[in-house]
Structure formats: C-alpha cells, structure tokens
Amino acid sequence: MKNNKYDISIVIAGGAGQGIQSVERMFVELLHHSQYYVFSTKEYMSRVRGGSNSTEIRFSLLPVSCFVDRIDLLVLLDDKAFDHVSSRVTNDTIIIGDKKQVSSISHPHVFSFDFLNTAQEIGNIIYANTIAIGLLASLFHIPLERIKNHVSSFFQDKSKKVITDNLTAVEKGSAFARSISESIRIPQKLNSSSDTRKKDSDSLLLLNGTQAIGLGALSGGCNFISSYPMSPSTGVLTFLAAHGWKANVFVEQAEDEIAAINMALGAWYAGGRALVTTSGGGFALMGEGLSLAAMTETPVVIHLAQRPGPATGLPTRTEQADLQLALYSGHGEFPRVIYAPGSLNQGYHLTKKAFDVADKFQIPVIILTDQYFVDSKYQTEMFETMPKEPTQYIVKTDETYERYAGESSGISPRGIPGYGSGYVHVDSDEHDTQGRITERADVRKKMMEKRLGKIRQLQKESIEPKLQGSKDYSILLVGWGSTLSAIEEARKQIDDDRISFLHFSQVYPLHPKTTQLLKKAKYIITIENNATAQFAALIEKETEAHVHAYILQYTGHPFSVENLTDRIPKTVNALEEYS
C-alpha cells in the first residue's frame, strides 16, 4: 500500500443481508473514537438479500467528507463483490477476502482468509463481520483492547454468549492482521505534511444526513410528522419515531402521500409545526396538497430526498433531478422556498430555518436532499444549543379578526381555532379577507398580488451563496446541494487561482447578489447530478448570467473527487480553445 496520501479509502463489498452496514457502523465509530477524521457512504441495490452492495470508509488525520473512486483496501464478503467494484481497483489496491472468493482474482496484492469457516467454528456465519472489524482495526494499529471494548459496548444489549463469541471473532481477525502486517506495511500513523490533528472526539458529532435533518426539525420546533415510507427519505421518519418522544413529537405513518401532506396541513392549521418526508414519486402525489397550502396560506415543511427517476427509477441510488419538480409542483402560481443543504451543518440549520420561514411567511418550504446526502456519515462541529421555544407567529384572535387581511405586507395575521374569540376561516377557493369564497375580479387580483408579494421579502431573507477560493476568479464552478464537498476537494487539488467555486444552499428564490457573483466570471460551469442541467436553467431564467458549460452525471452515483479533478480541467481547456 502506498502511503503518500493524507487518507485511506477502504471499501467493504458483499451482498445485502451480510451485515455490511453493521461493519461500517462499528468500524466508523471505532475510528472516530481513535482520533481520526472519518467519512463513510454506501451504495446498495433495491433488494433485501443478495445483489452487490458496497460501503466506502475514508479516514485521515485531516477532515474528509466526500466520496473517492480510489480503493486502498478492499474487503470482499461474497463471490460477486469483486466484479461489482473491479473498475475502481488499481495495482496498489490490497484485496482481502475468503479463500473461495479471491482464488480466481489475478492481482499482485491478494490475501485470503477463511472468514466463513472461521465464523462457523465460532458459532455463526454472521461473525464473519466481526472478524472483519478485528482485521481492519488491527491493520491500522488500533489496540486490541480498545477494539474489544468497542465491540462489547456495541453488543451490550445481547446475551453474554453473543458478546463472548464476537470477542473471539475480533481476536481471530486481529491475529490474521498481524500475520500479514509485514507484507502490507501500514505505518503507525498516516502520512501528513501537516501537524493538523483531529480534535478530541467529544468535541465533534458523528452523524449522517438523515440525523442532521431530524435534529434540525426538532430544533425548529417540529411536533408532528406524517409520512408514507419511501427511500431514501424514510430515515427521517424513523429517526423522529425513535427520538421525537423526548420532544413530544406526534408520529403518524400515513396510508399514502396524499394523506400525509393533508395531515400535516391540518396540524399546522391547528397550531402545530409539521414535517413531511418523502422522495420524488411521493412528492408528485403531494402536488394538490402543496397548492392547497399556498391558497390557504398554511405553512408546511417538506423534506424531499431525491433519487433517480422517472417512475420507480433507481430507488436506492442518488441524483439531483427533482429540482424542477420542487420548483413547479402545484397548480397555479405561488411562492415557495427551496433549501438544498450540502453539509451536515447546513442540513441541521436549514431544516431548523425552514420551520421559521414557513411559519413566518405562511408558505411551503422544501428541503431538497438526496440519497448520497442522507446516507453519508462524517464528523461535524457541535450544533448550537437548541432554544427552549422557537419563534411563534400565531396571533390571538378577536371578533374583528380577518384571516387574510394585510394586503399591503403580504403576510396576514395567522390565528388558530380556539386561541381567542375570532373565527378562523380558510377556503381552498379564492377568498376575501375573511376567508369566504369569492369570484370578484378585483378581490382575486388583490389576493394573488398579496401572495406573490411575499417573494420580494423572501429574496431579502434568502441565503447568499458561499464563494470558495479567490475573489479574483475568471472561472466559476457552480454547484448546489450535496455536491459541495466533492467539488471543493477537487478545486483544491486542481490548485488553479483562476478557478473558484460558488455553492448554493438555497436554490429558490436566489439571493439578490447572485447575478453580481456570476457575471464577474468569464466562464461559468455548473456541476450537477442530473442529465439536463436543471440548476443552470434556473440561473439563466432568474439572472442575467449565461452558463458556458455543464459537468453532469446521471448514473445513480455521486461525483467522486477523481471524476471532477479529471473533468474540470478538460472542460476549462475546451472553453478556452473555442473562445
């Protein structure tokens, strides 16, 4: 193994049902507590058992938070796994697998161990996973006692025999690691030209995107979630079901997505703060409810975790192809806000903010993530302390109360039934200031202008895109959402002072400075996980800027750093050639 890198990339590959996720969770947490920065993400097929899945784990003395193609160490847990990841294997890759699985692999660095038979001798084939933990951790010089303590803690709710057997499995894996350590020659510490060390692990949170969104919802005052399970969004529903009781969150698994959004609207109407979590196919069914929220000016927060379509598409893969769906869903014309977090920190704070913006402006707010974002896990700084109570925008009504008054500001006083003596009347038809149905042209005009007038205020409160790199750029990379870390790591590796990166965590409405930042560049290149450059189209529609080139990917996989370090210079060269 070459050790001229700051980080190591390990891939564990096997079939669904083999416990790969357990290996990932145990090993990642062990690395975290061993003072390493760590990142992991997974790709998996849409099946309960079989197929070919893999998990990538990167760890380093420096922060890591995105996917790389490079595999330094590959652990194979079934006979189909190698073919599944072989395109990422190089001559420097170390391959470790069961004897039967690696016997036919022609490669200079192959090591075999009888994982399955050893596991069966211990008592169950599932112990092959814990053998792999002992192997990996020992290869990278984590002390055996620390490994055993970690595994014991992981299985603390199991029987004494299960714990003992898992500790035996750790010892078997560790013994094998010692037997091949001289051949692999992994140093005690990863090479680094910097003295940068990981902070004390207690000062960092180890989370995935699902947990960041869930915690943000709790911090935003969410007390109701109604959703129908749909990958990759379901994790937010189960997170709030598991932890929301501490914050008195009511959790309802609805019979379908139409019921889910209507339940959420009912909760907001009654004074709650509701969240709906779904994916593209489910969001498509929510279009009428979205429009209902707009007409009744009822707040609602929707987490839309993207996956490739059309239709069922690739239900367990990633893509950024639902931007236009989020922008244009719902009949009629009405304002909305769309956030697209690119980091765990953004996921937390934007979800929290979504509840405040929805409540204040009485509009739908959409949090746009994707499978890659929700399934990626790494460390982030501690989030700010949650406030005791979020800001409330509900008013106490009296006999003169009119639900849709306030045409001048665009924001009406929102009352709820039973809080005050006024009558709270909402209607899905066009209505007057009291909320009563009308077909008068002058009233229709005023109400439309009142609702659409919120857009100007929303632009003033929008989030400015973040510029990374020199302010004196001539080439501007533009990304949004989950592409943040991969683009930024690639930009740093390319190390060209002309190239800067502008990341959007709010994709609608765009911040007023957007045009100024874009037009400063000679060339604008958008980088998107879709086939039609949807954000580029939005930029050109909403600003005076012209996008000169696109770097697109729509395979169901995220951008890797290597992919971008190859494609960005080629795109720049092509633009300069033809200019």
Same domain, 294 and 362: yes
For residue 137, give Cα distances in angstroms to 42, 59, 145, 173: 19, 12, 11, 9
Is 93 part of any domain? yes
Rounded Cα distance, 279 and 235, in Å: 11
Q: Is the dihedral of CA 382, 386, 391, 394 positive or negative?
A: positive
For residue 107, give Cα distances in angstroms to 111, 126, 349: 10, 28, 47
Same domain, 155 and 214: no
Same domain, 211 and 161: no
Same domain, 88 and 118: yes
Q: Give the CATH number for residue 545.
A: 3.40.50.920
Of the given ranges (59-63, 207-211, 430-434), which has the lowest mean pLDDT? 59-63
Rounded Cα distance, 576 and 194, in Å: 35
Last residue of a domain, one of 381, 414, 434: 381
Give the pTM: 0.95
Is 397 part of any domain? no
Would you call 542 helix, strand, or coil by DSSP? helix
Q: Give the CATH number for residue 177.
A: 3.40.920.10
Beta bridge partners of 337: 365
Angle value at C-alpha 51, between 15 and 379, nearest 5 degrees: 55
Q: Is residue 229 within 8 Å of residue 261, measured between CB atoms?
A: no
pLDDT digits (tens, 9 = 90+) for 306-327: 999 999 999 999 999 999 999 9
Same domain, 118 and 217: no
pLDDT digits (tens, 9 = 90+) for 373-423: 999 999 999 887 656 678 889 999 999 999 999 877 789 999 999 999 999
Q: How many CB atoms lie within 10 A of CB 188?
A: 6
- What is the reported pLDDT for 102? 87
Is 389 part of any domain? no
Last residue of a domain, one of 351, 381, 411: 381
Beta bridge partners of 466: 503
Same domain, 143 and 227: no
Range of the domain at 320: 206-381
Same domain, 279 and 162: no
If one counts the domains in the chain, the total is: 3
Lookup result for tokens 């995105």: 66
If you count them, how many residues does the chain have?
Answer: 579
Helix H or strand E segment including 475: strand 475-480
Mean pLDDT taken over the chain = 93
Q: For residue 196, is pLDDT > 50?
A: no
For the segment 430-445, the average pLDDT, to the nearest whole number, is: 96
Q: How many CB atoms lie within 10 A of CB 342?
A: 25
Rounded Cα distance, 178 and 172, in Å: 10
Same domain, 366 and 278: yes
C-alpha radius of gyration, the chain, whole number: 26
For the segment 261-274, the average pLDDT, to the nearest whole number, is: 98
Token pair listed for 485: 């870390």
Q: Is the bond preceding 509 in cis, omega lying within 30 degrees of 0? A: yes
Is 110 part of any domain? yes
Give the confidence band of 190 by pLDDT, cuts at 50, 70, 90.
Answer: low
Phi-psi region of 221 (alpha: psi -120 to 50; beta: other; left: phi over 0): left
Token pair listed for 477: 């990379």
Is 436 part of any domain? no
pLDDT digits (tens, 9 = 90+) for 106-142: 899 999 998 889 999 999 988 988 999 999 999 999 9
Same domain, 334 and 216: yes
Is 438 part of any domain? no
Give the confidence band of 168 by pLDDT, cuts at 50, 70, 90.
Answer: very high
Last residue of a domain, one of 174, 195, 216: 195
Secondary structure (DSSP) of 6-28: SEEEEEEEEEETS-HHHHHHHHH
- What does DSSP say about strands 50-60 and 37-43: parallel, antiparallel, or unpaired? antiparallel
Rounded Cα distance, 294 and 336, in Å: 8
For residue 12, give Cα distances in angstroms to 31, 96, 117, 261, 541: 15, 10, 19, 39, 44
Instruction: Give Cβ neighbours of residue 106 (< 8 Å, ≥ 6 apart).
Output: none
Is 28 part of any domain? yes
- What is the reported pLDDT for 390? 83
Helix H or strand E segment including 328: helix 323-328
Same domain, 325 and 366: yes
Instruction: Give Cβ neighbours of residue 62 (< 8 Å, ≥ 6 apart).
Output: 6, 7, 37, 192, 194, 196
Same domain, 226 and 339: yes
Q: Give the CATH number for residue 347.
A: 3.40.50.970
Which residue type, as a one-letter code, is found at position 159? S
- What is the reported pLDDT for 386? 59
Could you tell me what percentage of the chain is helix, strand and coil, using 3-state DSSP and rounding each to the nearest 5? Answer: 40, 20, 40
Secondary structure (DSSP) of 149-170: HHHHHHTTTS-HHHHHHHHHHH
Of all residues in the chain, the percent with pLDDT exceeding 90 is 82
Would you call 439 helix, strand, or coil by DSSP? coil
DSSP 139: H
Same domain, 47 and 139: yes
Rounded Cα distance, 482 and 340, in Å: 8
Q: What is the dihedral of CA 68, 71, 75, 76, to 10 degrees?
A: 90
Of all residues in the chain, the percent with pLDDT exceeding 70 is 95
Lookup result for tokens 């720049």: 572
Q: Is residue 55 within 8 Å of residue 40, measured between CB atoms?
A: yes
Rounded Cα distance, 339 and 403, in Å: 28
- Residue 496, class by beta-carbon neighbours within 10 Å (0-12 exposed, 13-18 middle, 19+ buried)? middle
For the segment 286-297, the average pLDDT, to the nearest whole number, is: 98
Which residue type, as a one-letter code, is found at position 214? G
DSSP 414: B
Beta bridge partners of 414: 394
- Residue 160, class by beta-carbon neighbours within 10 Å (0-12 exposed, 13-18 middle, 19+ buried)? exposed
Rounded Cα distance, 406 and 21, in Å: 53
- What does DSSP say about strands 224-227 and 274-278: parallel, antiparallel, or unpaired? parallel
Would you call 357 helix, strand, or coil by DSSP? helix
Is 305 part of any domain? yes
